[in-house]
Amino acid sequence: MGLEETKSCYGRSPWIFKGSALYQLHLVKAETARAFIPKKFRLVEAFGYTLGGFFLANYDDSPAGVFDELVVIAGIVWNPPTSCAWAARVLVNNEEACHHGRKDVGLPSQVARFSKRITPVPRQTKGKIGGFLNMIGVGNTICHSKDCIDVQVTEVVGPASSDICNIKFITDGEVMLLIVLISSVFRLIFLEQRGFTKVTRPKFNKWMGPLITMSLPSFSGQTEYNPNLLKYSCRIACRVRGAKPAKISGPSSLKDRNSASKTADSTAEQLLDKGRSLSISVMLSKPILALEFNCLEMQVEAPTILPNSTSSLPVA
């Protein structure tokens, strides 16, 4: 049974999102994840842990326009014959995207601010490979550049705001496979030896990784905005490569709260509701793998309502 779609800028499904993302997997304590999972589902776990993490995306083209999104993934649930991810919290800096997530997809979406700072980290080629390339005359054309990206995510509820986390990661602007380097160099030598005196030196642009497609099934719903239990699918096409796991830090102190928040309570624990606190715990859990998704195109189908889906709500 299909879920009725709202009349908004999203229109009818499938909904297409284009941009880039960082997908990071964490070992999440099972007891933390269970707070978000409906009792109908069995958590996929081993030795007291499940597989959660986060999906940090920047969309430069979507039904709602340009926006950022942080999906906190509580863990993996089992519903034969498939296992699916369950989102603990979804933070977006676009009100239309937040409304769509809540009403149409049954996600625990919240409006947030994404404060970004990008710092270039240049470096020269080093090591034996760099020396070999310099010796044959192309080493000077290779300059590895990295960007340090610092993202502060702050949830906004009316006049109040609460820091969720700070995400800091490095994007390697010139990660290359050795075979790409060698093949480019020998192609250059081959052409020059045959009289091509004005051969353009190869430009070592960043290697984006192999192009892959995959389908990521997910469950959602049973929120205050959508009481039904839903299942939907995201079909992703992108270039994927490994990355160094991002460093995550939680809220620092009360000084980062705005005046409306400061008057409410005297401690950070009182300022954060249970769902927000547990979402932060997921973000601060141990990372095991990080993947960069470049040239991302994500196609999201409208959810379907699962039978006998109404029950008590998990943590919001």
Q: What is the pLDDT of residue 79?
A: 77
**Tokens standing for residue 37:** 């999972």
User: What is the average pLDDT value for the chain, to the nearest integer?
Assistant: 80
Alpha helical stretches, state H, 78-224: 95-103, 127-135, 178-193
What average pLDDT score do residues 229-238 get? 94
Q: What was the pLDDT predicted at 82?
A: 77
In angstroms and rounded to an integer, the radius of gyration of the C-alpha atoms of the chain is 23
pLDDT at residue 14 tops 90: yes
- The pTM for the full model equals 0.78
Residues in the chain: 316
Confidence of residue 134 (pLDDT cuts 50, 70, 90): low
Give the bridge partners for 311, in sequence order: none
Mean pLDDT, rounded, for 35-51: 94
What are 73-121's pLDDT values in tens digits?
999 998 777 789 999 999 999 999 999 999 999 999 999 999 999 988 8
With pLDDT > 70 as the criterion, what percentage of the chain qualifies? 70
Can you spell out the DSSP letters for 244-303?
Answer: PPPEEE----GGGS-HHHHTT-SSHHHHS-HHHHHHHHHHTSEEEEEEEEEEEEEEEPPP
* 8 A C-beta contact, residue 5 and residue 104: yes
User: Which tokens go with 121?
Assistant: 């980290």
User: Rounded to whole angstroms, how far apart are CA atoms 14 and 105?
Assistant: 12
| Beta carbons within 10 angstroms of residue 53's beta carbon | 25
Closest CA to 316 of 280, 289, 286, 279: 279
Spatial separation of the C-alpha atoms in residues 286 and 305, rounded to whole Å: 33
Model confidence at 303: pLDDT above 80: yes
